[in-house]
Amino acid sequence: MNFVSVVLSLLTLVILPTVIGSGLITCKRINLGCYVDEKGVSHEDMKLGIMGKLTFSWLFGQLILWSVFQFIAVYNILKEHSYDTIKKEFVIVSAGLAAVSFIVFIISAIRKRKETLRYRSKMQNEFSSYPRYNNSSTLSFILRSGEAWEKILLAIVVIGIIVQVILQIRLAYTEVDDSYYVSEATAAIGADKLYYRIPYTGATTEFEPRHGLAPFPIWLAVVSDICKCSVVSMAHVLVPAIFLPLTYAVYALFGEILLGEKRRYLPVFMLFTELLTVFGFYSYMTPEKFFITRLREGKATIASLVIPGIILCLFMILKSLREDKKIDARLYILLFMLNTAGCLCSTLGALICVLPAAICAVLAIFMFKKGRHILPMVIASLPCAVFAGLYLVL
């Protein structure tokens, strides 16, 4: 792995998803629903600031790319096409999405700039000075006007994430699952064939279509091929190093929503989240161990990133239902893509990802006596039903 591989990885796994997510999803403001303070007073919608929008864009963009890859890969695998076909189609579609997203983002930015200038010129007649930014994120608020303890805690949180990334890279180790994920990805690149060898033994085998329903190893192969690095380096270094901050960003969004108007305590929330993760090795197989050491594997990605994302999405839907607010349609799009990403990571994801949505739908009916969310949730859960059905049929 060299400097070029690192740059290409950042472009592929960070910049590209953020551009796609910004252009297609988060150009307009994102509302997180109302919150109620200690006195029972309902406040206006909370709105994500710069950092929140970037996080949402990154998450949305990565899920869009995962969803696109899932449909492209499964179709070509079932048709017994070559690995190179999947790679070419994914690159073409990703480039098209990036181009469209960039154009949409530029148009949206120009319109927003015009609206801002028009509003400022109108307000200059009433106010002598007008703040340039009135919808700052929690991070920018802390950096500008936060107390010293807030800045110190924020620095500790950032340093903690950096330390975890460094330890992930330095203490990377092989395990039994590497003989599946890494071997399958390496074999696909080398032979331009898909699922033609038994990863654990290396012997050739007949094509088993059910393995292709969760082509996470093929995604790993495509990404490593695009970034010009070996599959082992991508699996043990780059993917965990990039997905760990993304996962913590999802937890930070949880904190933004749960803390409400007390979002100044977000560094405290994130610090305790890091402590629970780092010191969560209370038995052999824990969620914390999967998060810290095995983000390169499909099931660990479901447990650490996809399931928390689904719970975050459902929580925001339930908040909107509780406050009798109109539910942002983008939440259902996010839920659809999360379910598709879960199916990409593992065939078990078809069952694991749909259960929280089903429980949420039932709870909403009994708690709020509202059923308008049922049909969108059913549509958002269709990927799980489709891939689970294909698994049973094949």
Cβ(250)–Cβ(309) below 8 Å = yes
Please report the pLDDT score of residue 71 as a whole number: 93
- Check whether 170 has a pLDDT greater than 70: yes
Does an H or E element contain 280, and which? Answer: none
**CA 15: distance to chain centroid?**
14
Region 328-341 average pLDDT:
88
CA distance 234 to 216: 13
What average pLDDT does this structure show over 216-234? 90
Q: What are the tokens at 30?
A: 């994102």
**Helix, strand, or coil (residue 31):** strand
Count of domains in the chain?
1
Report CA-CA distances (Å) from 389 to 210, 211, 299, 306, 384: 11, 14, 20, 21, 8
- Amino acid 204 reads T
| Residue (of 170, 195, 160, 167) closest to 77 by Cα position | 195
- Per-residue pLDDT at 158 exceeds 50: yes
User: From CA 268, how far away is CA 150, in angstroms rounded?
Assistant: 8
Which of 394, 306, 315 lies closest to 66 in space, CA to CA?
A: 306
d(CA 262, CA 255): 10
Q: How far is CA 270 from CA 159, 248, 264, 266, 336, in A?
A: 12, 8, 11, 6, 27
Condensed to tens digits (0 to 9), the pLDDT of residues 7-57 reads: 988 999 999 998 888 877 765 554 444 344 444 444 444 455 566 677 778
Across residues 369-390, what is the average pLDDT? 86
* Tokens (6 digits) for 71: 């449909």
144 pLDDT above the threshold of 70: no
Place of tokens 């709105």: 47
Average pLDDT value for residue range 267-286 = 82
Distance CA 19, CA 101 (A): 6
Beta bridge partners of 47: 31
Q: Name the band, by pLDDT with cuts 50, 70 and 90, for residue 189.
A: confident
Question: Which tens digits make up the pLDDT trace of 287-308?
Answer: 777 777 777 788 888 888 888 8
Contact (CB, 8 A) for 242 and 59: no
From the list 259, 21, 263, 251, the residue with the least C-alpha distance to 136 is 263
Q: What percent of the chain has pLDDT over 70?
A: 79
Q: What is the pLDDT of residue 133?
A: 41
CA–CA dist 31, 49 (Å, integer): 10
pLDDT band at 322 (very low <50, low <70, confident <90, very high): confident
The domain in which residue 107 lies consists of 3-393
Q: Enter the pTM of the model.
A: 0.81
